[in-house]
Amino acid sequence: MLYAILCYKDEDVVTGWSQAEDASVMACLGSVHERLVARNQLGPSLRLLPTTAATTLRKTHGEPLVIDGPFAETKEQLLGFYVVDVADLDEALAIARDLAAANPGGAYELRPVLLYNPDPRIAQGAAAA
């Protein structure tokens, strides 16, 4: 079963890290990534740029409204996500615990995923292998 693990953290904390602090956190996360790759469980994972680079399209009754920045003002922002292929929620929670140990603070939200629009590039790559 596919789960999305959504990574939330105070963006000001993360953008305030030095290059060395950022590299250290990414190295710790890298060890978790390597284990997931070895078990063939890691799907797409993305680190999002800061919300200062975001644009929101808000639906209205008339024309859609486009605004700079994120729509919601919150303490923690969505900074990235993982897609993992696991047997059940317990296995997804174990991965989220590993990620939290590698990158303390923030929150990890887990949601089951229905594959809506598979990436044809992935299917082509699998067929070629």
* Lowest-confidence segment of 50-54, 96-100, 120-124 by average pLDDT: 120-124
* Lowest-confidence segment of 9-23, 51-65, 92-106 by average pLDDT: 51-65
Query: Tens digits of per-residue pLDDT, 38-48?
Result: 999 999 999 99
Q: Which domain, by its residues, includes 116?
A: 2-128
> How far is Cα 111 from Cα 2, in angstroms, rounded to an integer?
9
Which has the closest alpha carbon to 33: 21, 24, 20, 42?
42
Structural domain count, the chain: 1
CATH number at residue 28: 3.30.70.1060
> How far is Cα 24 from Cα 10, in angstroms, rounded to an integer?
18
Which has the closest alpha carbon to 6: 75, 76, 70, 81?
81
CA 90 to chain centre: 18
Structure tokens at 10: 């105070």
> How far is Cα 111 from Cα 89, in angstroms, rounded to an integer?
9
Please give the model's pTM, rounded to 2 decimal places: 0.79
> How far is Cα 107 from Cα 96, in angstroms, rounded to an integer?
9
